[in-house]
Chains A and B, each alone.
Chain A
Amino acid sequence: MKRLSRPGPGETLLLTATRLLDGRIVWRDAAGIWQEHVGKAAQMTLEEAEPALEKAQETAVSQGVMGVYVVLAHEGHPPQPVTMKEHIRAFGPSVHPEFAYSSTSLSQSEASS
């Protein structure tokens, strides 16, 4: 498995996955529950992210998610993923504002139940 890189100053690590049922992007919160909004993601250090990733991969099937991995982001509320690709995954397509993932519609993922 690829080793994780240590985040720089002002940066943090998030855990993300894809929900099996509908392909929706989800983010793991501090309680280990998959959430739809990146604003609920646990913001972790390298030392926190490594075991969290291992555990999330072990429980992915039972939690209804797949493709678990770590994303580098700038700290904040919500955190801002560093790359454009992850930014689009976190906030929705840039060309259809009506499809943006709104912070007002935070809801717990179906996958966590």
Chain B
Amino acid sequence: MTKSVGHYNYEPKDKAFLQERIAEFEEQVERRLKGTLSEEEFKPLRLMNGLYLQVHAYMLRVAIPYGVLDSRQLRKLAHIARRYDRGYGHFTTRQNIQFNWISLEDAPAILRDLAEADMHAIQTSGNCIRNVTSDEYAGAAKDELMDPRVHAEILRQWSTLHPEFTFLPRKFKIAISGSPEDRVAARFHDIGILARPGENGPLFRIFVGGGLGRTPVVGQELFDGVPEEELLATLEATLRVYNAFGRRDNLYRSRIKILVQTIGVDAFREAVKAELEKMDISHYRLTKEKVAAIRARFAAPTLDAPDGGTATLAEQMQRDSVFARWVKSNIHAHFDERYCIATVSLKSPGEIPGDVTDRQMDGLADLADRYAFGEIRITHLQNVVFGHVRKDQLYDVWQGLMALGLGAANIGLAGDIVSCPGLDYCSLANARSLPLAQKLGSRFGDMELQAEIGAMSINISGCINACGHHHAGHIGILGVDKRGKEFYQILIGGQAGEEAAIGAILGPALTEDETVEAISRMIDHYLSHRDIGESFLQTLHRLGKAPFKEVAYGSV
């Protein structure tokens, strides 16, 4: 069988493991349906297999390791959406996909279908190490220092069913990037890793104790320059310290960020070093041979394109201004001048962020096969990326996307809204987030207006758990419940990346329509008060929060 590009290709033992695991879960489901397992007994078992009970049905969260799929896998997801769901899937902010209308009795069959395409839902829930996320431009970006996906896969294998870390005090999220541009929000993770090449192999800068949720915290540097062979030992020691000292008596104080804040990062670092000294390091040594063995299970694309693609693309952009606008916002530089990276927006005006239909999934898989080596990446900002597209074929790709209703030119702009499923689907939510995302998406839907506004991130969460990363948005919105009615708190000034910052609350919560109007006025204020070339954040930093608060609440 031909190896898939961009991700680890399963060995027979990986496939056998999935079958064993499904058989185990199938038996558990049977016992639940017969009534020999209570919901209390069954809940931790189903969660270990990614099966939640949400507002209207069971929800299955499927892992997409480091966000990379092949076309065969995306078609399988389309099949699941069609056969077992209602023709939709929802890409999440952890590069996973969720199906919202699942029956319990179908769950084992779905897992079998997933396993046919080397996919599963293990560790997409529970107090364990969750899906490891990575840079959506990995292995393609011109600005990248090293491809982090091989190490992301190593972390996936290390953390899968890790006997010590299956029942941590709380869930644990790791992200890894190999670019100086932190595209994974490393400082907002329990552990964030920035990889770079060194003289004798890769080196890793490790941040610890970041996170959003109830207590948003920017992660702090734990170590810099960790050599490759010590990576796993360092992470093992870090998790051991958390596992030993993280709080288990208070759900809201149980994440690693609370431990790091409580004892201080220096004391935490010393505890990790002390743990390392006690460990048999040789057991965790990540040798070059081990890395090479994992790397060998990845296939790389054979880049081969005619010269002149850049000129062809320029000509097509000149001929078609709508295409030119899309290229400007949705294309990122590839390390090979003949190629580019294309981001497909799942945020067409008025649509639900991250939602894709079965037809769109099949269409994306077809486009990937034809133009992008069959490789598809899912971003933590709920979009899709084709990593390697020939410049001379980009116009054809865009036309294909337009036919699928996926041609929005808004990556990194006001319409590129990140949103959790909110109260419409999530049993934890306090307020709906999707209708607000749709209204804001429509309000700023005009592509020329979005281009005029420039760089802007709007993030919406339906509750304090912050799955929509509202603290990290230039404009963040948090849904709150007041006596059964929905209200929305606006935050301003958040951002991920190297200059990570937590948004500040602007003022009292507003109704949904008031929120849309308040944000419109804030953006109008920015447009009328910005200096030449100034971004929204730069204007905010220059003027301060007060004038934005004034316009936001001026007419309420």
Binding site for B on A (CB under 8 A): 18, 20-25, 61, 66-67, 82-86, 88-89, 92-96, 99
Q: How far is the CB of A48 from chain B (nearest CB, A)?
A: 22
Contact B432 A89 (CB under 8 A): no
Contact B438 A20 (CB under 8 A): no
Q: Which residues of A contact B104 (CB under 8 A)?
A: 20-23
The answer to whether A92 touches B432 (Cβ under 8 A) is: no
| Distance A97 CA – B549 CA, assembled complex (angstroms) | 35
A21 pairs with B105, CB closer than 8 A: yes
Q: Scoring B residues 87 to 117 as 1 if CB is less than 8 Å from chain A, else 0, what string do you get?
A: 0100000000000011111000000000000
Closest-by-CB residue of A relative to B352 is A95
CB atoms of B432 and A24 under 8 A apart: no
How far, in whole Å, are A95 and B426 apart by their CA atoms in the complex?
Answer: 13
Among B33, B105, B484, the residue within 8 A (CB) of A85 is B484
Shortest Cβ distance from B54 into A: residue: A23
Q: Say whether B39 faces chain A, with CB atoms less than 8 Å apart.
A: yes
A88 adjacent to B33 (CB under 8 Å): no
Distance (whole angstroms) from the CB of A90 to the closest CB of chain B: 11
B86 at the interface (CB under 8 A from A): yes
- Tell me how far the C-beta of B108 lies from the nearest C-beta in chain A, rounded to whole angstroms: 14
Are A88 and B57 CB-contacts (below 8 A) given A20-B33, A61-B35, A95-B434?
Answer: no
A12 shortest CB reach to chain B, Å: 15
If the complex has contacts A66-B39, A84-B485, A94-B435, are A24 and B56 also in contact, measured as CB distance less than 8 A? yes
Give every chain B residue within 8 A of A88 (Cβ-Cβ).
55, 423-424, 432
Q: Which residues of B contact A (CB under 8 A)?
A: 32-33, 35, 39, 53-58, 86, 88, 101-105, 352, 423-425, 430-432, 434-435, 438, 481, 484-486
Please judge, given known A-B contacts A22-B58, A88-B424, A89-B56, whether A94 and B432 are in contact too, CB under 8 Å.
yes
Inter-chain CA distance A86–B56, complex, in Å, is 11
CB distance from A17 to the nearest CB of B (A): 11
Find out whether the CB atom of B33 lies under 8 angstroms from the CB atom of A95. no
Nearest-CB residue, chain A, relative to B479? A84
What residues of B have a CB within 8 angstroms of the CB of A23 in the complex? 53-54, 56-58, 102-104
Least Cβ distance of B485 to chain A in Å? 7
Additional 15 contacts, C-beta under 8 A, given A22-B57, A23-B103, A84-B431: A18-B53, A22-B102, A22-B104, A23-B54, A23-B57, A23-B104, A83-B484, A84-B481, A85-B423, A88-B424, A88-B432, A95-B424, A95-B432, A95-B435, A95-B438
Distance in angstroms between the alpha carbons of A22 and B101 in the assembled complex: 8
Q: Is the interface of B mostly helix, strand, loop or mixed?
A: mixed
In the complex, chain B residues whose CB is within 8 Å of the CB of A21 = 33, 103-105
Closest-CB distance, B394 to chain A (whole angstroms)? 32
Chain A neighbourhood of B430, CB < 8 A: 85
Most buried by B among A86, A92, A96: A96
For the complex formed, measure the closest distance between the CB of B76 and the CB atoms of chain A, giving whole angstroms: 22
Residues of B within 8 A of A85 (CB): 55, 423, 430, 481, 484
A–B complex contacts, Cβ < 8 Å, 24 sampled:
A18-B53, A20-B39, A21-B103, A21-B105, A22-B104, A23-B56, A24-B57, A83-B484, A84-B432, A85-B55, A85-B430, A85-B484, A86-B484, A88-B423, A88-B424, A89-B55, A93-B55, A93-B425, A94-B424, A94-B434, A95-B352, A95-B432, A95-B434, A99-B86
Residue of B nearest to A84 (CB): B486
A18 to B427, CA, bound (A): 12
Give chain A residues whose Cβ lies under 8 Å from the Cβ of B486.
84
A82→B57 contact, CB < 8 A:
no
Compute how far the CA of A94 lies from the CA of B429 in the bound complex, rounded to whole angstroms.
Answer: 14
| Min CB–CB distance A44 → chain B (angstroms) | 19
Given contacts A22-B57, A23-B57, A95-B435, contact A84 B484 (CB under 8 A): yes
> Residues of A contacting B434 with CB < 8 Å?
94-95
A99 proximity list for chain B (CB < 8 A): 56, 86, 101
Per the bound structure, the CA–CA distance linking A86 and B427 in Å amounts to 11
Query: Top 4 closest A-B pairs, CB basis?
Result: A83-B484, A23-B57, A93-B424, A22-B103
A31 to B35, CA, bound (A): 24
- Interface hub of A24, A61, A83, A93 (most chain B Cβ within 10 A): A93
For A24, what are the chain B residues with a Cβ–Cβ distance below 8 Å?
A: 56-57
Q: Indicate whether A82 sits within 8 Å of B484 (C-beta atoms), given known contacts A66-B39, A89-B55, A95-B438.
A: yes
Residue of B whose beta carbon sits closest to that of A18: B53
B56 touches A25 (CB 8 A): yes
